[in-house]
Each structure stands twice: as C-alpha cells, then as structure tokens.
Amino acid sequence: MTRNIAVIGLGLIGGSLSLNIRETQENVHMIGYDINKDQLHLAKSLGVIDEEASSIECACEKADIIIIAVPVTHAVALCEKLASLKLKKGVIITDVGSTKTKIVETANIFAHQDVHFIGGHPMAGSHKSGVAAAKVHLFENAYYILTPSEHTAEEKVSELKQLLQGTKSQLIEMTPSEHDRVAGVISHFPHIIAASLVHQAKKYKKQNELTSKLAAGGFRDITRIASSSPVMWRDILIHNQQSMLELFDEWALEMEEIKEMVRSLDAEGIFNYFEEAKNFRDGLPVKEKGAIPSFYDLYVDVPDYPGIISEVTGYLAEERISITNLRILETREDIYGVLRLSLQKEEDREKARICLESHGYGTFIPS
C-alpha cells in the first residue's frame, strides 16, 4: 500500500528529506508544497518530489505523514492551520525546526484528534541552500533529535523512525525542553558569541582602521557562523527565549570568573582554564556531525603566479571534486601564499588532499 508523504517547504532540509525518503523507501508518494513556485517546480524536475501540490490543503489532506520544513516561526502557524483541516485519521506530523518547546506545546491542539505530532530536528546542514542543493546523504552520521510529547503513541514514533532509517542518521529521543537547552548551549548561544565578537571588532574599527585587515585571518574563522541568516537566528532566539536568558546569566558568571583571574594575575588559574577547555574540545567527536554544520577546510600552499587558482581548481575538476568555497588567505610576491578550500564532505577533502599532493602541492588540514 502506497503512503502519501507531504513535505511543506522545499529548501535544503525539506528537499533532502524528501529525496532521501523517495529513494530509500518503498511504496511512497512524495507530495511537495512550497510558497515559492519556482522552488516547487524545480523540486519536481529534479525528482525530489513526485507531485506538486497547489496548496497546503491539497498536500496535507490526503497525506499519511506530513513533514513541516519551514522556518520555526512559520512552523507554529502552520501547525495551527493544519488543526483546521480534514486530515487523515492516524496521520503523523513532524517538523525539522531548531527549537522544539513552542511547537510541541502548540501541537497539543491535536491531543483530542487522531493526529500524532512528533517534533524533529535533523542536526545537519550545508554551505548551500535551496532545493537544488538537496542531497540524499545529507543526514548521514548526523544526530536526528525526536521530541514526542506525552500524547504521542509509541507505535507512531516507531513508524516515523522506520521512515527515517534511510537517512542513516543517529535518532535520539529527548524532551522538548532538554533539546532546547542543549541546542542553546552548543548552537544558539555560540552564534550570539560569534556575532558579539564581530560587533566588538566593528566598534573598535572606529578607533583603529587596521582592525578589519588584521581580522581577516583566524578571526574570520572563529566568527564564520556569524554570517548565518539573520532572519533565521532572530526567530530561533525568540522561540528559545527561556534557555537563552538562562545562558546569558551563566555566561556572565563565566566571564566574571576569568576576568577575576586576569585582574588578580592568577597565572595558574588562567592556565587551568585554557587547559581544561583544550582537553574537553580535543575530546569531542571528530567524525560525527553536530548542531553546527562542519566545515571541511583544506589549506594549500600555492606560489604567487598568474593562473595558480585555475590550475588548482582544474586538477580538482578532473577528479570531479566539488568545492563549496575558496579563499586566498595570504599571497605575497616570491613566496608561497595560502589557499583555503572548503569542501562538502570529509571524503571530498581527503580526495582533494591526495589529488593536490600528487601534483606537488603542500596541504594542511586544520585541527
């Protein structure tokens, strides 16, 4: 028996989920809807979906499973809209948002209907966006958090897990509040810190014009996530307000502790502070994907002469290795400069390293 699966929102995540389910599951019919009709048509032409829906109603009223893949603010409103539709009895609704408490609370409107909401958050992403960037294996080795409520039947959670098996992600169940607290610590708050560092540099530039030039190296790397979508992060912080407020208080205490060590010239305390941070950071998993998309960078020593960039990219093109970003970190006359290549996957970076070293280039993988 064929299952109808509706995907509302055909960006990178919604498109990748649809493509994965379509290619790894039997007897499924993928119905897509997106407010952007160009994205919707492109999804159909790329084989991401089987059918284009003209409206949310057309997509969802015949669906056995509904995947909400829109920004968190819109997801809450969409839940409320779905509650007014004539959905199939026993339908499963899930989402892919980065915050869970508010949408799960909103989904309590389904508690007295034969509708089963299971919050979801696939912790995967890419440097690219849109359905054209959708990949079958985007979620492989990533953590995929599920946050069923107390109203969710266990067999429905099992059914959703079975549907997501083809993603080869690591499925974990958490409460919505647990999810939002952990996501706040490892993803949401780090984005605030990155943005605040950039703001600090911007303000200091008024005193010293060299600030921007000197910030072009490592500073750009440690603040890279500050270039994320302002709209997305506005919505995430508003939806995770309570966790954020608690983390602000904890961060202030943390800063006071290290500030006092510096004020009192506590050399041992400062050393221990950085050593403990180093040890914990060095012990973090390397292979697994986390809440913030990984950057697979490869640094290449390149001589400064005309055509060197096209030469490097030409070798990679011959091996069909795709790069997502390229940046010259330093070039000076008569000495080697550094070319930073960002690649989609760790395997692509290793292939690029082998390829370029075989052509005599020195490479370096940052830790």
User: Residues 115, 282: contact at Cβ < 8 Å?
Assistant: no
CB count within 10 Å of CB 249 equals 9
> What structural domains and CATH numbers belong to the chain?
3-174 (3.40.50.720), 179-282 (1.10.3660.10), 296-364 (3.30.2130.10)
Checking if the pLDDT of 337 tops 70, the result is no
Q: Which residues partner with 6 through β-bridges?
A: 31, 66
pLDDT in tens, 81-90: 999 999 999 9
pLDDT in tens, 129-149: 789 988 898 898 889 999 998
> Which among 291, 235, 230 is positioned nearest to 77, based on CA atoms?
235
Per-residue pLDDT band for 301 (boundaries 50, 70, 90) equals: confident
Give this prediction's pTM: 0.78
Chain centroid to Cα 130, Å, comes to 13
Which single residue is written with the structure tokens 């696939």?
122
Checking if the pLDDT of 47 tops 80, the result is yes
Per-residue pLDDT band for 334 (boundaries 50, 70, 90) equals: very low
Per-residue pLDDT band for 335 (boundaries 50, 70, 90) equals: very low
Give the CA count within 13 Å in the CB-facing half-sphere of 203: 6
User: Residues 322, 286: contact at Cβ < 8 Å?
Assistant: no
Q: What angle do CA 80, 228, 123 make, to 5 degrees?
A: 60
Checking if the pLDDT of 306 tops 90, the result is no
Cα gap 88→65, rounded to integer Å: 9
Least confident of 198-212, 247-261, 326-340: 326-340
pLDDT in tens, 209-243: 888 877 766 788 788 888 888 988 999 999 999 99
pLDDT at 289: 66
User: Residues 322, 348: contact at Cβ < 8 Å?
Assistant: yes
